[in-house]
Structure 1
Amino acid sequence: MPAANLAHRADPAVMRLPDRLRLRAAVAAGNLAALGSRLANRGSGASIRGQVLTRIAPDAFKLLLRGRRVASVSGTNGKTTTTHLLAAAVRSGLGAETRRLVTNADGANLHYGIASALSQARLADIAVLETDERVVSDMIAYGRPEVLVLLNFSRDQLDRNHEIKSLGRSWRAALQRAGHDGPTVVANAADPLVVWSAGTAANVVWVDTATLWTADAALCPACGTVLATSDGRWDCPGCDLTQPAASWLVDGAEIVTPHGDRVTPALRVPGSFNVSNAACALAAATELGVELDAALHGMRTVTAPAGRFATATLHGTTARLLLAKNPAGWAEALPLATSDPVILAIDSVAADGKDVSWLWDVEYEQLQGRTVVATGPRAQDLAVRLSYAQVEHQVVPDLAAALTTVHDQRSSDPGVNGSIPQAPVDLIATYTPFQKLLKMAGLR
């Protein structure tokens, strides 16, 4: 009985008639806008649906969350993939009842994106929701999640989020307000700011993700003292904040369970960071009542969450698409990029963050000896950084032209045997060019 542990349903919500009628009208208007977006070839319409929906019914976010069992996933990096892994694990636990689950699989994680996804599955009583860091407080207050997964904090979109401690402070306050009625928090014990943020939660399941990126965790979030690290664990010499003992551990390619069992997730998405994401998803799934084997089986079906790690042929070039939004993301993505040449796409509109000074925190030196094609509106900024890194590069600002350039170069290579398919070119992009690539590839 794979669905046995998920059998109990959320309490039914009672919605007043005026709220129900207004919400019904708002959903209909949103669906009409989404249809228009698809007919105009402007995308799936999920985003415009949510914007129209929440404009007509400003309280749609909290109304649509009512009466559901909610699991929420947040953090700067990895929340889309972790949400897909968790949703797949829960689906596997549900067995034939998979229509009971709703998730925002396209990664639209603000209030309107979440409302859009929920509006399309009114009868689903289990929601696994990717949640933007700025929405977590409202998710705790209105969604009353059973499980809240907190992955990490990293500098990202600083022009909008400012210093990341302010986000952690909002999480901490929301969990304190929720008290014993708050969620079980599945939290990354290796991230000091996450540990501090989760410190007011009534119940925390700690996961040692063996995180390698530490540049955003130099100071204690509680007292400001420089953190000390010994034997891979962090501690504050100035106060009692220290890395907590974790019940779930990442050890290389394995995950160690609270019972001491070692499991290999054998994911179909690459990278050691995704083993860490899987550990958090696995811990959350078991908290929701999914059996371990069923959760692992489901997670192994995830291949290209919201287009990440997808392979597509664009303007003659077969490329593997990697998303990197900030220094921590680039630190994980660059070791996966093994092709020569490699394409790097940079933009700086609101969704990317307008401040690109973070380019100087990324170790592009590891690309020495290969050719880089820098593309996107901020390709020249990247070119300056690559010059200092002594990385051979060329600048082709237009994304389509960059793909065509790589295709032409590879086609003219006298060492290429045309009868043997070439390996994909690795293409790492910030958020906006990544979305353009997905649209070009027909993946959104």
Structure 2
Amino acid sequence: MRLDPDALGKLLRGRRVAMVSGTNGKTTTTHFLAGAVRAWLEADPAAGGTRRLVHNADGANLHQGIASALSGQPDADLAVLETDERVVADMVRLGRPEVLVLLNFSRDQLDRHHEIKGLGRSWRTALAAAGDDGPVVVANADEPLIVWAAETARQVVWVDTASTWTQDASLCPSCGSSLVREQPPETGAAGSTWHCSGCELRQPTAEYRVQDGRIIDRTGHAWEAQLNVPGAFNVSNAACALAAAELLGIDIPTALDGMRTVTAPAGRFATMHLGGTTARLLLAKNPAGWAEALPLASTDTVVLAIDSAAADGRDVSWLWDVEYEQLAGRTVVATGPRAQDLAVRLAYADVTFRCVPDLREALAGHEAPVDVIATYTPFQRLRKLGGV
């Protein structure tokens, strides 16, 4: 890209492109979709084989990372690409994706991304500019900012993901009025619905739904996800990937078979061994991510790793929006360069902890397996230390 500033557009040309973006879950969702495509290619001898697929599997999702993945497989005509929120508008303009999956918006790295409405506006503008040449958007109907951003797309397939995180959506992105949330009248319906108190923006009717851990497709058939990664949020991610797979022409049983091959996408949920300790790695980058990760921590000892490098976000004030109180009664180890900031938060949460800033030292000497929840930079360092 230094030699040729137009390289990314040239590398995208002539491929069927499916993109996935959002604050949380885009790496896993992209792996789900790539798994579905791979299963389809393997099931059909006439399809041409998996060499047709290119996927930025390591999560390098900025311009350079996407260009690297594409240039490594110049003959692959199917591209499943994780895309950073800031890159979506450029990718819509350059790549003319066939399918665009929009998962969610949460406060994340505010010193880098700034206010999330600005990102949403960039998506909305890009989709409007693309017009009839734009992608079919698979969008999370539970997220007001996603709904507003996707309004200008030529076609939207809505997914009710049964989201539980609402703290980043209090005001209408269209008019600024308060959003109203209410329980649906139907018995057994999942989650709440939302609408704006001042304009017509409201939660759209979904074609796909997540309910009781199952994925309900557009025909009303309920599918057991049976994924090999934990968490209800990953069933929601799989529902979005399933909708995208169908748009690409992949039948649901084949798509689900492919998604079930995903076990540790880019190290998430992987098990590592270091200094005699067995540890499971969980990534949590912001309050919404921590709200999903903390309930998954099942070990008696939990290691929490915090940093504030550029990839984490310099501002760690978000620590006060995470309910660390739920760790009370367990052994907690605070580690990483910002371990002492976390220690203050844990003290206020009445959680007993040890502060061990060095990652190696924090993981050493645990006789029983431990869960490790880490922000991005220490997560990547732990992957390298554990050979994951």
Alignment TM class, shorter chain as reference: over 0.9
The answer for the alignment partner of 1:328 in structure 2 is 288
The answer for the alignment partner of 1:165 in structure 2 is 117
Give the one of 220, 231, 247 matched to 2:172.
Answer: 220
Contact 2:272/2:387 (<8 A) preserved: no
Tell me if 1:365 matches 2:333.
no
In the TM superposition, what whole-angstrom CA distance separates every residue of 1:241-261 from its partner, at most 9, and x where no partner exists?
000000000002100000000
The answer for the alignment partner of 1:316 in structure 2 is 276
Give the root-mean-square deviation of aligned CA atoms.
0.7
In the TM superposition, what whole-angstrom CA distance separates every residue of 1:276-321 from its partner, at most 9, and x where no partner exists?
0000000000000001110011000000000000001012210000
SS of 2:2 mapped into structure 1: helix
Give the one of 26, 36, 45 matched to 1:79.
Answer: 26
Contact 2:56/2:65 (<8 A) preserved: yes
The answer for the alignment partner of 2:301 in structure 1 is 341
The answer for the alignment partner of 1:267 in structure 2 is 227
Q: CA deviation at 1:400?
A: 0.6
SS of 1:290 mapped into structure 2: coil
Q: CA deviation at 1:56?
A: 2.0
Contact 1:184/1:202 (<8 A) preserved: yes
> If each structure's helix is expressed as a fraction of its own residues, which one has the higher value?
1
Amino acid of the structure 2 residue aligned with 1:333: A
How far apart, in 1, do the equivalents of 2:59 and 2:71 lie?
15
How far apart, in 2, do the equivalents of 1:58 and 1:271 lie?
41
Amino acid of the structure 2 residue aligned with 1:214: T
Q: Quick one: percent identity of the two aligned structures?
A: 70
Q: CA deviation at 1:363?
A: 0.4
Q: CA deviation at 1:265?
A: 1.0
Contact 1:254/1:264 (<8 A) preserved: yes
The answer for the alignment partner of 2:186 in structure 1 is none
SS of 2:304 mapped into structure 1: strand
Q: CA deviation at 1:226?
A: 1.1
SS of 1:76 mapped into structure 2: coil
How far apart, in 2, do the equivalents of 1:80 and 1:161 lie?
18
> If the length of structure 2 is used for normalisation, what is the TM-score?
0.96
How far apart, in 2, do the equivalents of 1:237 and 1:164 lie?
21
The answer for the alignment partner of 2:90 in structure 1 is 138
Amino acid of the structure 2 residue aligned with 1:153: F
Amino acid of the structure 2 residue aligned with 1:399: L
Contact 1:319/1:427 (<8 A) preserved: yes
Pairs within 5 Å for 1:178-217: 178-217=130-169
Amino acid of the structure 1 residue aligned with 2:90: D
Pairs within 5 Å for 1:22-421: 54-95=1-42, 96=45, 97-231=49-183, 232-404=192-364, 407=365, 410-411=366-367
Tell me if 1:428 matches 2:373.
yes
Contact 1:255/1:263 (<8 A) preserved: yes
The answer for the alignment partner of 1:13 in structure 2 is none
Q: CA deviation at 1:98?
A: 1.0
How far apart, in 2, do the equivalents of 1:252 and 1:330 lie?
22
Q: CA deviation at 1:340?
A: 1.4
How far apart, in 2, do the equivalents of 1:328 and 1:189 lie?
17
How far apart, in 2, do the equivalents of 1:323 and 1:336 lie?
11
How far apart, in 2, do the equivalents of 1:164 and 1:261 lie?
35
Give the one of 356, 365, 383 matched to 1:438.
Answer: 383
How far apart, in 1, do the equivalents of 2:5 and 2:372 lie?
39
Listed as ranges, the gaps of 5+ residues in structure 2 are 184-191
SS of 1:352 mapped into structure 2: coil
How far apart, in 1, do the equivalents of 2:219 and 2:256 lie?
16
The structure whose Rg is larger is 1
Q: CA deviation at 1:338?
A: 1.2
In the TM superposition, what whole-angstrom CA distance separates every residue of 1:134-184 from its partner, at most 9, and x where no partner exists?
000011001100000000000001001110000000000000000111000
How far apart, in 1, do the equivalents of 2:305 and 2:5 lie?
36
Listed as ranges, the gaps of 5+ residues in structure 1 are 1-53, 412-421
How far apart, in 1, do the equivalents of 2:3 and 2:359 lie?
37
Q: After TM superposition, where is structure 1 displaced by more than 3 Å over at least 4 residues in a row?
A: none
SS of 2:384 mapped into structure 1: helix
Q: CA deviation at 1:442?
A: 1.6
Amino acid of the structure 2 residue aligned with 1:63: K
Amino acid of the structure 1 residue aligned with 2:384: K
Amino acid of the structure 1 residue aligned with 2:33: L
Contact 2:272/2:280 (<8 A) preserved: yes
Amino acid of the structure 1 residue aligned with 2:10: L
Contact 1:252/1:272 (<8 A) preserved: no
Amino acid of the structure 1 residue aligned with 2:170: A
